[in-house]
Amino acid sequence: MPEIPEHLLRRSRERRKALGLPTGEEGEATEAAEAPGSTAAAPEATAPAAPAGGEGAGGEGGGEGAGGEEQPASVGGIPAHLLERSRRRRAAAAGGGAPAAAAAAAPAAATAVAPPPAMTGPGGHTQRLLTVVKSGSIQQTRAEAQDKVHTWPHLLVVEFAATLAVSAVLFLFSAIVRAPLLSLADVNQTPNPSKAPWYFLGLQELLTMFHPMVAGVTIPGMGIFLLIVAPYIDRNPSPKPQDRRFAISLFTIFLLFWAVLVIIGSFFRGTGFNFVFPWNDGVFFEL
């Protein structure tokens, strides 16, 4: 008989004790009989010889002796359900002899020893957790996924295509539409008022209010410096407008300041670059 580990024997004794079955040598014999390789051999080796004139424990009598009496619940320390199992197997191997007797003895064996319930864990799970293996010990991540693309060719190709499209539109527009140019300049006649292009009219408007050093260098330099340091003051990476109040407020003030100067220089300056109302004296502005 193969040696059964001690922890299995201890578990079997605890289970048999919970079911109300004997836990002494009978339990050890039962476990030995249920071990692999000795299921069919145990009944044959330990079952007593049948009385003369009758059938043995493994014969075709289906669990009855010579006088027709039923076998006891335990014979020689072997439970009746093991003996019944051995008789069924021998009867099946012999061709099914006396199925009626085996069927009659089945309820008695079932009532004698009830099958142990299935061992289940929490939630009815029958799996047993061995260990938890972290993914890092099995799979090595070489690089983390990033939502970025290469500058070339993904970005530069799109920008190059946009540049070609804008250049083609400007070329066709300049070839078809006549540019609104003035007559040739006359050195003996200076236009009054003499205005700079619209994108410089804000600076020309400042020259009428402040000293050229202040209007041409100090004020524009301070505005450009504030726009340069703005990203270092406001480090909020959020793209939402409600989270970028400082940056949006600074750019809005700069844009409104320059737009107001350009509008005044374009429409509210007349002869001698004096302040006039366009709805009274007309508009002194040409592209």
Residue 52 maps to a domain: yes
d(CA 200, CA 222): 17
User: Tens of pLDDT along 183-223?
Assistant: 788 888 888 888 888 889 889 999 988 999 999 899 989 98
CA–CA separation, 108 and 81 (whole Å): 9
How many structural domains compose the chain? 2
Q: Per-residue confidence at 50, pLDDT binned at 50, 70, 90?
A: very low
Residue 13 lies in a domain: yes
For the ranges 29-38, 84-93, 258-267, the maximum mean pLDDT occurs at 258-267
CATH code where residue 234 lies: 1.10.287
Residue 202: other Cβ atoms inside 10 A: 20
Which runs of E-coded beta strand occur in the chain?
74-75, 78-79
Is the pLDDT reported for residue 103 higher than 90?
Answer: no
Mark which of 116, 151, 169 sits at the end of a domain: 116
- Residue 120 structure tokens: 């289940």
274: left (phi over 0), alpha (psi -120 to 50) or beta: beta
Interval 218-268: pLDDT, tens:
998 998 898 888 888 888 888 888 888 888 888 899 899 999 999 998 899
Task: Report the SS3 class of residue 183.
Answer: coil
d(CA 78, CA 48): 11
Q: Are residues 111 and 208 in the same domain?
A: no
What's the DSSP call for residue 181?
-
Contact 92, 58 (CB under 8 A): no
- Cα–Cα distance measured from residue 226 to residue 243, given in angstroms and rounded to the nearest whole number: 19
Task: Look at residue 56 in the predicted model and tell me its pLDDT.
Answer: 41
Both structure tokens of 135: 């993914």
66, 47 contact by CB (below 8 A):
no
Residue % of the chain over a pLDDT of 90: 16
Q: State the residue range of the domain holding 220.
A: 188-281
pLDDT of residue 190: 82
Judge whether 41 lies within some domain: yes
Residue 140 lies in a domain: no
Residue 32, pLDDT above cutoff 70: no
Q: Is residue 239 part of a domain?
A: yes
Q: What residue type is assigned to position 273 of the chain?
A: F
Percent of the chain at pLDDT exceeding 70: 62
